[in-house]
Structure 1
Amino acid sequence: MEISSLSQSVSVQASAQASAKASLQLLQQTLALQAAGSANLAQPAAPVNPPNLGNRIDVMA
């Protein structure tokens, strides 16, 4: 194997490794943001309706 071919191969592998590392960091940040967003959605919401709503039913025959 020639030196130029070997150095080109190492360069391509280093570039691929850097790209994979950047993709992994982006994935980790995305998952962290999604976890934070889902934690906010999981918190119970305060009731919007007044407490007396639905306690009495008027029935006329």
Structure 2
Amino acid sequence: MNIASTTAVQSATAATQSSTSDAVNIAVLKKALDVQASAALGLIQALPQPQVPPLATEGSIGTQVNTFA
């Protein structure tokens, strides 16, 4: 008697294979998301930092505020 041909055994085997397949698919998805995250971080770090000019500390331009209307 060959028990591999019964529907119960075939259903159990298919269920085991699908859960293994799901686990592999999730692992691949996580790896792809990690790769995308590191690529995005590299692009963000490659952006030039904005140059902020220093504030005036002496002289009459930029150090005084006129408050009349």
Q: TM-score, normalised to structure 1's length?
A: 0.65
User: Which structure 1 residue ranges, 5 or more long, are not aligned?
Assistant: none
Superposition CA RMSD, Å: 2.5
Specify the alignment match of 1:23 in structure 2.
26
The alignment partner of 1:47 has SS state of coil
Q: Report 1:1-61 matches (<5 A).
A: 3-43=6-46, 45-50=48-53, 53-57=54-58, 58-59=63-64
Q: What is the aligned length?
A: 57
Partners of 2:33 and 2:21 in 1: how far apart? 18
The alignment partner of 1:48 has SS state of coil
> Which amino acid counterpart does residue 50 of structure 2 have in structure 1?
P
**Percent of residue pairs identical:** 11
User: Which structure 2 residue ranges, 5 or more long, are not aligned?
Assistant: none
> Rg larger in 1 or in 2?
2
Q: TM-score, normalised to structure 2's length?
A: 0.59
